[in-house]
Amino acid sequence: MQLMSEKGAAGGGLRERKKRATRAALAEAAVRLAAEHGAEKVTVEAISAAAGVSVRTFFNYFDSRDDAFVVIDDDAGARMRRAVLEAPAELSPLAALREAMAAELAEAEQQHELWRLHAEVLHASPHLLARGVGAHMAAEADLADAIAERLRGAGDTGGAGSGLYPRLLAAVAGAAVRTSMDHWSAHQEEAAFLDVFHEVFTLLAAGLPAPSA
């Protein structure tokens, strides 16, 4: 699942906001059409028409039709990387990553339906699912690089900045997001998504202690 944040899209100048809005409209149109008709039956022309733009505009944002199905928000990774690197020095790497992800997930409850449809579209098409997994792994590697850079910038001399720790932390954080979303989806009436998200990260920060009897 690629993250998409209205809060993140609100940043930058007017031209940048318009570009993000157009890309988001194209991606949403692609996912909704694919969920209704099947990805293989959806054309670039149909996606463009549903988003209210030209085919030429579509190719300003995506190299191919399949890209529109796979990556909802291509800028999310760069925003999270920047947030991790710019987080206050007193925050632990886990806390810095938690805050970066929370900012991207601020609109999670409003975006939940689209994310669900996105997952359905990918799972219904093996080649799109494979591309989606590849995109997720690339995003996870970018986050690991940002964590490693943050550690090195903090004067890490124990090797954590170039070893297993950044990769493990990025992978665990990704699993935490998926767990949070799955749990919230099944218990929406009990708590807000971000409350579930923060509870999951609190458990991680505590070292995943076993629940009390």
Residue 169, pLDDT > 90, answer yes
User: Span 50-69, mean pLDDT?
Assistant: 95
Question: Which residues fall within 8 angstroms of residue 101, CB to CB, at 6 or more apart?
Answer: 3, 80, 173, 177, 197
- Please give the model's pTM, rounded to 2 decimal places: 0.81
Q: Please state which of the ranges 49-53, 64-68, 147-151, 159-163 shows the lowest mean pLDDT.
A: 159-163
What tokens appear for 38 in the block? 């099947």
Question: Which residues fall within 8 angstroms of residue 211, CB to CB, at 6 or more apart?
Answer: none
Is 30 within 8 Å of 117 (Cβ atoms)? no
> Quick one: pLDDT at residue 163?
79
Percentage of the chain lying above the pLDDT 70 cut:
89
Residue 8's pLDDT band (boundaries 50, 70, 90)? very low
Residue 160, pLDDT > 80, answer no
Q: Which of the two residues, 15 and 213, has the higher pLDDT score?
A: 15
For the stretch 74-123, pLDDT in tens is 678 888 999 999 999 999 999 999 999 999 898 888 888 888 899 999 99
**Burial of 159: CB neighbours in 10 Å, binned 0-12, 13-18, 19+:** exposed
Q: Cα separations (Å) of 127 from 10, 61, 69?
A: 33, 21, 11
For the stretch 173-190, pLDDT in tens is 999 999 999 999 888 889
